[in-house]
Structure 1
Amino acid sequence: MKAVILAGGLGTRIAEESDFKPKPMVEVGGRPLLWHIMKTYAQHGIKEFVICLGYKGYVIKEYFFNYYRHTANLEIDLRTGNADVLDSQAEDWKITLIDTGQDTMTGGRVKRIRPYIGDQTFCLTYGDGLSNIDVSAELAFHRAHGKLATVAAVQPPGRFGVLNTRADGLVTSFEEKPQDEIGWINGGFFVLEPSAIDYIEGDDTSFERAPLANLARDGQLMSFQHHGFWQPCDTLRDKRELQALWDAGKAPWKA
């Protein structure tokens, strides 16, 4: 089975980092977000990946092409130019890197990689969110219901305090909004049958709009409720929060 990862967006809300690299290459714990996501899938036995490249895709190509240089200890003889790997930390992954266009929308990127996924069920996610989702359980759920698509449903943490006030403006109570009052949202971890791609028209199609809406209309979309950790990395604040979890040894997504 393969996991498709969307890694071509601009990341405008974290521009301080993504001016120089694609957002999936923003680092947490010294490794790119993309690497952490791939580790999550690999933990569940999925070690073949199709990466949808776009904005600054060459950065992702360079990282994996020179993976040893980025992750291993090396011994280099400057006279000869020879380099020996002292301790290999290479993953047993197979990675297909496909340029899906600079301005292509998410649905269009998925449609462009159709020739590389074969005729089997595949996973799909975004390259900028970390989670401890049980991919194996989601796959089992998908196979049991027999529909074309499964989306992980998550309840994001409340980021804003709720103020209860009197007419004169006096705050009578302040509390964080409970997760169960926020509702379920698209958590971005999908399991799809290849025929689900038929719901995508072309490059200008956002996967989150018409394709998912039409799959739901046709009774072909199921939700897998994930109650564990889920955190997108959309802003520098998000990155700092994720880094703080990593530094404290409390990163729930760490495989």
Structure 2
Amino acid sequence: MKAMILAAGRGKRMMPLTETQPKPMLKINGKPLLEHHINNLRQAGVTDIVINLAWQGDKITEYFGNGSQFGVSITYSQEQAGGLETAGGIIQALPLLGEQFIVINGDVFTDYDVTSLKQLHLQAGEAHIVLVENPAHNPDGDFALSHLSPDSQKYTFSGISRYHADFFKGLSAGIRPLGPILRERLSEYQVSTELYLGQWDDIGTPARLDEINQRFAL
């Protein structure tokens, strides 16, 4: 099982912190966000990792190299300047990912254990996404837990998911966000969901980054 960590975004809301480095290289408790993800994946037995690059991607390759010093094997998917958005980045990297794979947003901080995603079985063309309780900055959520009740309570997409490669079949490469695709496929019963109640933070602003680091300082 391979995993892809999305790390190509520029992180404009994090300026000036991301002026000279990508957002996933910002540090939580002294380590880059990406390193936390890599460690969590390794502990779950996922050691074959793809990372997409765009803004300041050289900072990531310089730090992680081929991944061997972190106990993993890393392959990089270089994108055009400005990146390809989430779905576009995944589509470009499909030749590196195999039939089924895990995807994690590089700018979230979580203790979610992907072991359960490894054990999940998806049919061709299906996806599974992890939802979390709505943070203050996204009170209305993104997706309902059940496609049978699309108007019920909505929760926030965590940026953690698993896909069968055929989920992206027929979609051309290029700049393409993931949200509209998930919404469409949810209505077509091709996306399953789960709700995770453990630690999860979206590192979207400098204030949120400071808040999380303050927790570790206590």
Residue 217 of structure 1 deviates from its aligned partner by 2.6
Count of aligned pairs between the two proteins: 204
1:143 corresponds, among 121, 138, 143, to 121
The question of 1:100 aligning with 2:79 is answered yes
> For residues 17-56 of structure 1, what are the structure 2 equivalents within 5 Å?
17-56=17-56
Measure, in 2, the Cα distance between the counterparts of 1:158 and 1:2. 32
Q: Which residue of 2 aligns with 1:117?
A: 97
Q: Which residue of 1 aligns with 2:208?
A: 238
> For residues 172-187 of structure 1, what are the structure 2 equivalents within 5 Å?
183-187=154-158
| Aligned amino acid, residue 156 of structure 1 | N
**Any idea what the Cα deviations from partners look like across 1:7-29, whole Å, max 9, x if unmatched?**
11010111121001010111112
| Aligned amino acid, residue 113 of structure 1 | A
SS at match of 1:224: strand
Measure, in 2, the Cα distance between the counterparts of 1:130 and 1:106. 17
SS at match of 1:112: helix
Measure, in 2, the Cα distance between the counterparts of 1:199 and 1:39. 34
SS at match of 1:184: strand
* TM-score with structure 1 setting the length: 0.73
Q: Percent same amino acid at aligned positions?
A: 25
The question of 1:190 aligning with 2:169 is answered no
* TM-score with structure 2 setting the length: 0.85
| Aligned amino acid, residue 154 of structure 1 | V
Q: Is the 8 A contact 1:107 1:205 kept in 2?
A: yes
CA RMSD of aligned residues (A): 2.4
Residue 48 of structure 1 deviates from its aligned partner by 1.1
Q: Which residue of 2 aligns with 1:177?
A: none
Residue 147 of structure 1 deviates from its aligned partner by 6.7
**Structure 1 residues 37 and 199, CA, compared in 2 at 3 Å: closer, same or farther?**
farther
The question of 1:13 aligning with 2:24 is answered no
SS at match of 1:143: coil
Residue 50 of structure 1 deviates from its aligned partner by 0.2
| Aligned amino acid, residue 101 of structure 1 | Q
Q: Which runs of 5+ in 1 are unaligned?
A: 69-89, 161-181, 249-255
**Structure 1 residues 159 and 92, CA, compared in 2 at 3 Å: closer, same or farther?**
same
Q: Is the 8 A contact 1:147 1:222 kept in 2?
A: no
The question of 1:208 aligning with 2:188 is answered no
Measure, in 1, the Cα distance between the counterparts of 2:30 and 2:188. 43
Measure, in 2, the Cα distance between the counterparts of 1:145 and 1:123. 15
Measure, in 1, the Cα distance between the counterparts of 2:41 and 2:101. 11
**Structure 1 residues 147 and 133, CA, compared in 2 at 3 Å: closer, same or farther?**
farther
**Any idea what the Cα deviations from partners look like across 1:83-113, whole Å, max 9, x if unmatched?**
xxxxxxx321000012022232211111111
**Any idea what the Cα deviations from partners look like across 1:163-219, whole Å, max 9, x if unmatched?**
xxxxxxxxxxxxxxxxxxx8411111001111112163331211122x212321321
Q: Is the 8 A contact 2:27 2:33 kept in 1?
A: yes
Q: Which residue of 2 aligns with 1:128?
A: 107
> For residues 59-98 of structure 1, what are the structure 2 equivalents within 5 Å?
59-65=59-65, 90-98=69-77
SS at match of 1:122: strand
Q: Which residue of 1 aligns with 2:141?
A: none
SS at match of 2:121: helix
Which structure: larger Rg? 1
The question of 1:153 aligning with 2:116 is answered no
